[in-house]
Chain A
Amino acid sequence: MEVILKNLTKKFPSRDKKNRNEVTAVDHFTFEIPDGRLIGLLGPSGCGKSTVLNLISGLLKPTEGSIFFGEDDVTDLPPENRGIGLVFQNYALYPHLTVRQNILFPLENLKGKDRLSKEEMQKKVDEAARLVQIDGLMDRRPRELSGGQQQRVAIARALVKRPKVLLLDEPLSNLDARLRIQTREEIRRIQRETKITTIFVTHDQEEAMSISDLIIVMKDGVVQQIGKPQEVYDSPANLFVAKFLGTPPINVFDGRIRDGRLWIGGDAVLDLKGVMDQEVYVGIRPEGFVLNDKGALGCTLRGVEVMGRDISVVSVNDAAAGPAVRSIVGAEDRLTQEARHKPEGSPIRFDVLPRKVFLFDRRTEEKIDYEVRQRRNGD
């Protein structure tokens, strides 16, 4: 089932007694979610992503705009009639019911012609349990399960009615790191098997990037960018998206364009085409640096950090917005090895890879497109 959001807006009355203005949690959200895909709704906490989910589920009513499931306008439909499954961050399992009773609960609410016989219900419960691989735990109570198991039960409960749309609200944030990776693969598998359109909310960009077909990046109730994870990473629409995606995060510099040259501090880094002279923000991904003794960008070495397979060179540059410039470099590189033995405070130079360098307008923070005339390096 495709989900179409048109102009969706949600305003809440302000909690601040003095300031009676309304708070806009979701601002004119328009998007078509294709059928049978896994969509990651990504943004920092408080950006309105959970509100979007609650609007789709029907737990909240939009202030403006409409929601379609396929052809049907469901904007005013109560949640129980929308055919959705919802999984909460804290799982919201009924603590006094066993796993079996928890999964059975939604089926028992069906009335009239939808009502199933006892046997059919049990069959569906068993099916859902098998899908999420908890068939051995059916008579336990939620508190006797680990976090990951509870999560599976919650998913089974959401799936047992064969929903048209499955909504997951921060499904992994209560799990420890190892379990999180395992469970997200699990969600991916279940989604592939069931082919149910699934939307999940997360503030963890890595999580969203790793399993989604599409990600939607939100900030302050406004959609920033929609696209396949890699596309969004490789071509962020604005500074916020660039900063939000990627670990370690992108390095931002104050830069300026003069006569077709991009300057960071006193260094001319790239020669550009088709861009006006202006002040810009320069974002360079950590993997966009290459150590080179005669490189275009000069920094001061702070240290070299070895993190398993990656080695990152930490340095400082006066034009950098953050406290340090972090670059990920090849471990086998001769220059990397040398850098490890240089004392703190030594000068160090990099070349930058143009496709890892993004320019943003100082005022709007929107991306500025450019072409590279010539890569400046010491070769």
Chain B
Amino acid sequence: MNHQSDYDKIEKTARAKSIAAHTITYLFLAVWAVIVLFPFYWMILTSLKSYGAYNSEYIPKFYTLSPTLRNYADAFTAVSLGRYLLNTLIFTVITTAIMLVVITLAAFAFARLEFRGKNAAFVLFLSMMMIPNELVIITNFITITDLDMRNSFAGLILPSVTSVFYLYLLKENFEQIPDNLYQAAKVDGTSDLKYLIRVMIPISKPTLVTITILKVIECWNSYVWPRLITDDPRYFLVSNGIQEIRENGFGRENIPAMMAAVVVISVPLIVLFLIFRKKVMEGVSRGGTKG
């Protein structure tokens, strides 16, 4: 019976150890969750405080008893937040659309067609994946300036279209479609373009959706190029808009209104993310980076 009591002891300590380990793990994870979420909480909280209330709090309060939407009204009226949002939307939609067309055609050529020089062209494309944006942005800035396309959507969009990485992703996906499907279509007299549109694109829809989401995130958050190429606030995107609001915004340092603008800018992507959570995370783990 001595053994039995030994076993009991071992079981007990093991259970206690495992409970302790779990508690510590959860505690640790919860701390990081708070660090991640707190800025979001603070920006929403601040955006709901009135200007007067906020500025009278020498010691910031963690709650507000008199929430107001006034700041949101200010964000849309006192500064052109609506225009920034609209600009960003136009920029994002057109850039993503053009990119999708361009990379789909190119990926099809690489994955499906046979032509002289294909491999050389593909190596060229691949090598471009390693070129940092900082290196080419200077000439692009001068090119767009010379073309007199500063402060225009064309100037914003055109250099943002190229995405070698997404082209690569799509080509890999296209190549997984069995050759027999193409041969079957050929026998039935399907043209290449029709095969691409009717067969390859529908089959590759999941990848195309992933690419679209990643590009939309990229466009929505782009800052450097729009900053270089636009100095007319009528063409500002949200990133530049928020910087403009910060520096010359509401005439005085109206932090609650600024936070309201920040909330408005952040919400669309967060909603998009929550809807397509799986796709976004899968897409990012397949090759997204931040920065």
Judged by CB atoms under 8 Å, the answer to whether A and B touch is yes
Q: Which residues of A contact B (CB under 8 A)?
A: 54, 57-59, 78-81, 84-86, 88-90, 92, 94-97, 105-106, 109-110, 157, 161
Given contacts A88-B180, A110-B189, A157-B188, 10 further A-B contacts (CB under 8 A): A57-B187, A58-B187, A59-B183, A59-B186, A80-B189, A88-B183, A90-B178, A92-B178, A94-B203, A109-B188
CB-based contact A86/B184 at 8 Å:
yes
The answer to whether B60 has its CB under 8 Å from any CB of chain A is no
Lowest 9 A-B CB distances belong to which pairs?
Answer: A80-B189, A106-B188, A92-B180, A96-B202, A92-B184, A109-B189, A88-B180, A86-B187, A79-B187
Instruction: List B residues 185-234 near A (Cβ within 8 Å).
Output: 185-190, 194, 198-199, 202-203, 205
Q: How many A-B contacts at CB < 8 Å in the complex?
A: 57
A97, B189: Cα distance in complex, Å: 18
Q: Which residues of B contact A (CB under 8 A)?
A: 178, 180-181, 183-190, 194, 198-199, 202-203, 205
Pairs A–B under 8 Å by Cβ, sample size 30: A57-B187, A59-B183, A59-B187, A78-B186, A79-B186, A79-B189, A80-B187, A80-B188, A81-B189, A84-B187, A86-B183, A86-B184, A88-B180, A88-B184, A89-B180, A90-B178, A90-B180, A92-B178, A92-B181, A94-B198, A95-B203, A96-B203, A96-B205, A105-B188, A106-B188, A109-B189, A109-B190, A109-B194, A157-B184, A161-B188
CB-based contact A94/B189 at 8 Å:
no
CB-based contact A80/B186 at 8 Å:
yes
Interface of chain B: mostly helix, strand, loop or mixed: helix
A105, B190: Cα distance in complex, Å: 9
* Chain B residues whose CB sits within 8 angstroms of the CB of A85 once the complex forms: 187
CB distance from B217 to the nearest CB of A (A): 26
* Chain A residues whose CB sits within 8 angstroms of the CB of B188 once the complex forms: 80, 105-106, 109, 157, 161
A377, B29: Cα distance in complex, Å: 90
Contact among A94, A106, A161 for B181, CB-based, below 8 A: A94
* Chain A residues whose CB sits within 8 angstroms of the CB of B187 once the complex forms: 57-59, 79-80, 84-86
In chain A, what residue has the closest Cβ to B183?
A: A59
* Chain B residues whose CB sits within 8 angstroms of the CB of A94 once the complex forms: 181, 198-199, 203
A120, B188: Cα distance in complex, Å: 18
CB distance from B185 to the nearest CB of A (A): 8
* Chain B residues whose CB sits within 8 angstroms of the CB of A58 once the complex forms: 187
A95, B205: Cα distance in complex, Å: 12
